[in-house]
Each structure stands twice: as structure tokens, then as C-alpha cells.
Structure 1
Amino acid sequence: MTMDQAERLRKLVEQHPVSEHEHPGAKNPPASPQASKTAKQAKTPKPQKPARPRRPFSTNARVIAVTSGKGGVGKTNFTVNLAIALRAVGSRVMILDADLGMANVDIVLGSSSKKYLLNLLEDDMDLADVLVHGPYGVDFIPGGSGIEKAQTLDDDKQKILLRKLAGVGALADIILIDTGAGLGKNVMDFILAADEVLLVTTPEPTSLTDAYAVMKAYSRYAENPNLQLVVNRIYDERESREVAEKLQQTAGRFLHLDVGCLGYVYEDASVLRAVRRQTPFVVASPDSIAARCIRAMAQGVLYGASPRVDRGWRGFLQRIFHFSR
């Protein structure tokens, strides 16, 4: 992580200041002595310094699905903060809120919208009417219940959605799909349609069990598996390594699935304070250990993987709507 990144995030704070007046009732709870000690002792992840980007940015956006085996692991919060960190280093980022049960990307961003995906079926509606230019330079498309209905539309209506959504690929370098949690059909459709998958888990046994269930289903149906772990709410780096290695070894042995690990996020009181203020923590507390972890993973997304050919946004749309070329 470079100082330049942190400076860019501080500029975002200046553009979108956080104040108690804007969010009355959002009091900062004091961090526990144990949490403060952990944060001081924690080492900031050090991403490798690459010689060149993962691949040159183009109109063929990378489509990355962010999912989890169970709810409550911080998936959406991670997605939004990762998007802001990617934007801070120059990437054009867009989020598609595809979490049918808990669609709250707008809440984490402190933004809102009156239009949703299915409004695109209206004759006088275009992409610009649905697309939300959120704070901190991150755009998003609110899905609502429209995501679920979109997959059951007739061919003519699917073609309309495909045509109106096709332009998204030219508006972003990276499109993050915030899926729901679990193994529902809609969740699996999204992660199988995406070129890359980030699976968020925590060290809790139930979270690990559910994460393995996602990997098992993914390994069974994915054409070209490309999955990485994100371990959230850890207390030390060794814990993160143990969690990742356990899942990686199990996946390799029983599923013959090669699973990577993008990184981890420390348990941090600043995350809870930011959530209460409806402000992403990489902006509210850019120097916190959690924010430094997110910025390290943003570097990993951009530079940590070997170049590969992605099918991009249009390919994602064709797969999610089962629309043949």
C-alpha cells in the first residue's frame, strides 16, 4: 500500500465529510483494550509490488462476484469498501446489487435510488435512469426484486434488458456483483456467470462449513473455476492463514478445486462506527487496520493474478439471462 492511496482516500473524505450532525445518534463506542492492543500489534498486509497491471483496462470489464456461505459475515460492507479502494487507484468501478434478501449497497454507501433494474423494461427508461452515481466515485445499479424476476422474463423482455445493460461494460473497468448468501439458485447463477468469485468467510466454524458448501457447489458446475477466499474479522495473521489453508486443503483433496486467498480483514472497532454512520470505513477511517487490509486486497485484485482472457460484461449478461449468442 502506498501513501498515495491513503492520500487519495483522504481527499474523498474532504469531498464527502462525515459529521455527527449528518448522522445524529451515531456515537463512537470506545474500542476495547483487547481490540486496541490487537490493532497495534497487527501487521499491515504488504502486497507485492507488480511490474505491470493484471491486464490493460479496456471496454471489456472484469466481472467479479462477491458471495458468502451465510449472511452476517460482512460481504456487502467488504464489496463497497473494496470498490472505493479500487476507485482511489484509478479504476472505474460499478456495483450491481444482486442480494435479493438484503439489498443494502445503497445503505452502506449512504445513498439511495427510486429506480431499479426492472424499470429498464419501461419504454422511456434507459441505463442512465437506473444507474446511480454514488459517492466516492462508485456507481451502482440497485437490483431489488428485479434481479430475481429478470431471470424468468420471456425472450423479448430479456433482449430489452440485455440491450439496455450492455453499455455497462464500457462504463467500468471492474464490475462487482454483490450476490446474496447461501446456495439459492439465484446466488449460484450469479457466481457461475461471473469470471471471478470472491468468497467471504469468517473464522467461525459455521461460516467455514457454509463456505465449503459454496465451494462444493461451485466446483461441480463452474466451467472455468476461479475462486479466491477473503477471511473477515480475524484477530491475527496466523488465524487467517489457518482458516485459508484449512479450506484450501479440503477443497483440493475432496473437490479437486484450486482455491486462492486474496487476503483478510482484521476485527476493527472503526468498522462498526462507520456502519453506524452509514459511511464506508475506508473513507471514515482511512488509517485503520481494516482500511489498510482493504487497500492491500485492492492491489491484489489489480496486480496479484496472472493475466487471463475474461468473457467480460456481455458474456456475463448472456449467461445470467441464458441468452444465446
Structure 2
Amino acid sequence: MTDQATRLRQMVGAETIPMPVSSAQAEAWAHVRVIAITSGKGGVGKTNIAVNLAIALQRRGHRVLVIDADLGMANVDILLGASSRKHLLDLLQPEVKLDDVIVETPHGVQYISGGSGIEKALEYDHAEKVLLQQKLADCAARADLIIVDTGAGLGRNVMDFILAADEVLLVTTPEPTSLTDAYAVMKAYSIYAAQKNLRLIINRVYEQKESREVALKLQRAAEKFLHMPVDCLGYVFEDTSVTKAVRKQLPLLKAEPNAAAARCIDALAESLLTGGEMRVKRGWKGFLQQIFKFST
């Protein structure tokens, strides 16, 4: 079985490098959950879900660390209201410590900006990879859950992260192009993942029934053509409050905690921890908002 140390080594592209492990580190690695959140295409709300899911998990008493590995659209810091002066790449400097690159955000969630360091990890020499491993190892002692916000699509960097993670949450929307690209990610994952643990999140749906129909399409395709069972973690309603929160540069759960989408993400966090099925209804206010296309 692939252990946590192996996965952490894979994250820095150095899975074959031996690394001394203390008993404290081994114990920490055994309990942390590494969750990659990805998508087949950009613009489906992946990062928004990653950030708000992290906050929902933190509110339930868990120490959460978010790593922004979306090199093309790195905007976790904007949504978290945090500014990082140092990135992952800066850990290669002997004087830079892990504490220097981890940002404590106003929302109780820890954050590391990947910068260009992750993309260049495969180019590092042996000594640089060992140094990165040693400094990143203590992330597991500082967090119960590590959420990696990957890029979209099937780039090598993206695949490295989703194959290294314990769990993968694949975000899609009901749009045909989004479904096609999501299936492409599922196909690649089914081929290369040694231990498969991928679940769907259907974003921007208008009702629960729509999310079930969308998930069923992908699930049937995965079973028929990929021979891979795929569960659906849940759904997030289409909600104008999401756009309003982004404009305020605030996480949705802080800006509009009672919004339909916020309640969905909160329920996703609960399902992620308990394994139960999420059930969120729009309610009468949500019904009126959707019918008249406005937010009160």
C-alpha cells in the first residue's frame, strides 16, 4: 500500500528519494487526509469550492491547510483575503523555513502559495528535492486535512497532484463541455491511479434532481467504459451570492453564510467527514430568488 510518505515525496517529484522519518512524523502522516480538488476545465467554480470547503471543515474543529497548486489561475489568496510574500519555491533557500511560507488567514485556514515552485519541481536536482521534502514534511504535523487546489485539465502537473492525493474531488457543471472534460479526467485517472478514490461535485445546478441526472451520466460512462465506480459527494446550487462574495474578495461562507450555495458547501463538508448523503433544499426564499432571478 502506498504510504503517506510516498505521497508526500510524489508531491515534490521525488518519490524514489529515501528520507529519514521520525516517529512523530510517521504518526502525523498516518492521520492527515490529502484531498486534491480538480476539474476538467476552468471556470467551473473549483477554487471557490476548495476555499469554502476548507473553511467549513475548519469550523468543525479540523486544522486545514490549503495549497494553491493552480499555476495558471492562482487566486486562492484573493478568496482567502491573504497575501503570501513567499512561495513554495522559496523553501529552496536555506534560511527560509516552513513557517515563512505558511500564511495564517483571517478565516482560521492555513495557506501555501505554490507559485512556480511546484511546476519546476521535476527539474530540481537531488539535493533540492531532499531539502523540499524535509521542509514540507512538517505540513502533516500542522494539519488534519491538506486541500490541494490543482489546475484544470490534464497537464502533467495536475495529474501528478491528483495521483498523489488520498482523495480526489472532481468539480463539474451540467454544461456539455464541462462534462466532456470531466470524463477526460476520469479516464486518465482510471488508467494511472493505483488506488482509485474519486468523487464528483456537481456545481451550479438549479435543483437536486438535476445534480442526480448529471452525476448519473458520468457514473454510467465510468462504469461502462472505464470499469471504475464513481461516487458523487454532492452538489452546489447556482447562486448569485457567489459572484457577490467574489467581488467583495471574501469567502462565500463569510460573506453570505445563509445563501443556498453556502449551505450546500457546508453540507459537502459534513458528508466528507461522515460519509453521509448531503441534502440541501433551496427553501421558499431560494425558490423566489431563482424564479425572479435576483438575490434579496
**TM-score w.r.t. structure 2 length?**
0.83
**What is the alpha-carbon distance in structure 2 between the residues aligned to residue 141 and residue 58 of structure 1?**
19
- Structure 1 segments (4+ residues) deviating >2 Å: 57-60
1:151 to 105, 122, 147: 122
**Residues 1:200 and 2:171 are matched in the alignment:** yes
In structure 2, the partner of 1:263 is 234
**What is the alpha-carbon distance in structure 1 between the residues aligned to residue 273 and residue 110 of structure 2?**
19
Q: Which has the higher contact order (CA 8 A, sep 6+)?
A: 1
**Residues 1:253 and 2:231 are matched in the alignment:** no
In structure 1, the partner of 2:43 is 72
Map residues 137-286 of structure 1 onto 2, 5 A cutoff. 137-286=108-257
Q: For residues 98-146 of structure 1, what are the alpha-carbon distances to aligned partners after superposition, in whole Å with 9 as ceiling and x for unaligned?
A: 0111111101111111100010010110000111111210001100111
Unaligned runs of 5+ in 2: 1-26, 277-296
1:97 to 61, 68, 72: 68
Letter in 2 for 1:182: G
Q: For residues 278-314 of structure 1, what are the alpha-carbon distances to aligned partners after superposition, in whole Å with 9 as ceiling and x for unaligned?
A: 0011111111111110011101111107xxxxxxxxx
**What is the alpha-carbon distance in structure 2 between the residues aligned to residue 151 and residue 126 of structure 1?**
21
Question: RMSD value over aligned CA atoms?
Answer: 1.1
Question: In percent, how many aligned pairs have the same letter?
Answer: 63
SS at match of 1:263: strand
Report the Cα offset of residue 58 of structure 1. 5.6
**What is the alpha-carbon distance in structure 2 between the residues aligned to residue 217 and residue 296 of structure 1?**
29
Q: For residues 213-241 of structure 1, what are the alpha-carbon distances to aligned partners after superposition, in whole Å with 9 as ceiling and x for unaligned?
A: 00000000000000000000000111100
**TM-score w.r.t. structure 1 length?**
0.75
Letter in 1 for 2:132: L
Q: For residues 75-115 of structure 1, what are the alpha-carbon distances to aligned partners after superposition, in whole Å with 9 as ceiling and x for unaligned?
A: 00100000000001101100011011111110111111110
Q: For this pair of structures, how many residues does the alignment match?
A: 249
SS at match of 1:198: strand
Report the Cα offset of residue 151 of structure 1. 2.3
- Does the C-alpha gap of structure 1 residues 58 and 121 become closer, same or farther in structure 2, counting only changes over 3 Å? closer
Report the Cα offset of residue 155 of structure 1. 1.1
Unaligned runs of 5+ in 1: 1-56, 306-325
